Structure 1
């Protein structure tokens, strides 16, 4: 059997088992996870992703292994910024702690499907039209500038287009009914705030994908590497959410570090047709920027709000 096919099978088996275990742990805690527990879970997910990267290194070669690791670091760093948006969505809809894992689970499953479509379409476009790299690179640089100029505090879940459309399509309940997305009242079907939150999360991830997928495509156009690095970064987001929700506001400089990374990979995509930047160098730049943006919080301590 082809090595690539074996790796694809191994990937899906690992993801399915890991998600099942993660779901069981979340159900046991009823969505109430301490920072220490969340840190343990995040460490397990990162460790699993790195082990899969080691498997790629041993089976597909060192070049593919470095591409996977670079793609994973880029996706995971972008996911950190996205999590703060999810925190705002949950706050807006006042999602109870015991219901938050359900929203995150469906959000992640939706992201897995959307990324599959986006990645294959993106790879096809880039391999067919070289100038798509220029467009994708421009999108990343524009996003980086917008990220610095406009903070996450400007994000309003209530103005989300998907949420507005949902309100027009069907009536919404103001109260929660366990983990139910829909309830019947007097023979009429209503959507619960839980379903509304899932819709907004899915739409937000659609917007995030427009930024993150071109970022990984600047590193490699190998569909297997792009997709697996993307999904390993995504499936650990539930535990990452609970870690960051307890640490929100403690790393204000991280946003600027992520913006620099987006600008770097955007410039790399634009220059790719004329100048090749080694993947190992890209990895070093990305890790260094992330480390500096986190360490800056200890050098220039932000004022308490």
Structure 2
């Protein structure tokens, strides 16, 4: 059962479109440039503030100030579900960020072009998540046992993430990159922010286009992980979609904020692995014992905070996959055509 009404869906859609237009306007006005930590920090705070303004309006609309205990309980419950889902999706998005950093480092993407690549990647992620969430919501409604599949998948993913934490990623043997290399002619260098260019009379894709394609692959992979995670918190399609979308909207700013301090949080993958196993277990126990949403929020906050604090106290191993310098050469440099 969803709280979403045509009015609520319309307000949400308008909210997101206006936010994206403002972001696009700011992006086009600034042009290609390297994003500073200060700029990234300001935009990150703006996106977090926008998300909490939305959930505040949602809480008020559902009866957060009502004298009716039932309406007040509904408003408090849905607001808590949104905040928990938002936090979990934000936390899982950190993994996206470090993969983006790996791709940008590997392909030597100039800092001035990274904003545009991330914006396109975010738009793709929004469309992808919306489609997958609607399908997931339908599956959960029609087939209750799908929740057990989601739960088992999350537990498996959590253990896999724990095992992979600290290992060096191998882009050279990445199946998606090898598939692209076999089927496309790729220019040896960048041509501004263009996706295609001419080299000796031959039309070729620039490395920037290859990065866009790989970010699309990353979006698919992480959507498969994160969408079951949010369904463990709530099965309300409105809360699932809104919390996901608002978490993604601030991804570009969060990338530039965390990319400069990735070495400090080298243990975060372990924390995310624990969170995934916990959420997966919560979903597997859904018909035996329903773990309160407040517990999910508390466990997520405590685990992530603990791993971040431990990251600051325990030095990172050289070449760690998350937190260490990625051992990839900058293969493609800026060139003029």
Match status 1:129 vs 2:143: yes
SS of match in other structure, 1:166 = helix
Rounded to whole Å, the distance in 2 between the matches of 1:288 and 1:151 is: 19
TM-score under structure 2 length normalisation: 0.84
Query: Which protein has the bigger helix share?
Result: 1
Counterparts of residues 19-98 of structure 1 (less than 5 Å): 19-27=20-28, 28=30, 30-60=32-62, 61-98=75-112
Equivalences, count? 303
Q: What do residues 14-33 of structure 1 show as CA deviations (whole Å, max 9, x unaligned)?
A: 22222233334344163311
- Offset of residue 75 of structure 1: 0.1
**4+ residue stretches of structure 1 with deviation over 6 A?**
none
- Offset of residue 185 of structure 1: 4.1
Rounded to whole Å, the distance in 1 between the matches of 2:193 and 2:32 is: 11
Partner residue, 2:315: 302
Pairwise CA RMSD of aligned residues? 1.9
Gapped regions of structure 1 (runs ≥ 5): none
Alpha carbons of 1:152 and 1:304: their partners in 2 closer, same or farther (altered >3 Å)? closer
SS of match in other structure, 1:294 = helix
The answer to whether the 8 A contact 2:263-2:316 is kept is no
Q: Give the structure with higher Rg (CA).
A: 2
Rounded to whole Å, the distance in 2 between the matches of 1:127 and 1:254 is: 34
The answer to whether the 8 A contact 1:160-1:200 is kept is no
Rounded to whole Å, the distance in 2 between the matches of 1:246 and 1:25 is: 22
SS of match in other structure, 1:99 = helix
Give the counterpart of 2:190 among 162, 176, 184.
176
The answer to whether the 8 A contact 2:196-2:203 is kept is yes
Q: What do residues 268-287 of structure 1 show as CA deviations (whole Å, max 9, x unaligned)?
A: 01111222111122112211
- Offset of residue 161 of structure 1: 2.9
TM-score under structure 1 length normalisation: 0.93
Rounded to whole Å, the distance in 2 between the matches of 1:204 and 1:95 is: 17
The answer to whether the 8 A contact 1:87-1:245 is kept is yes
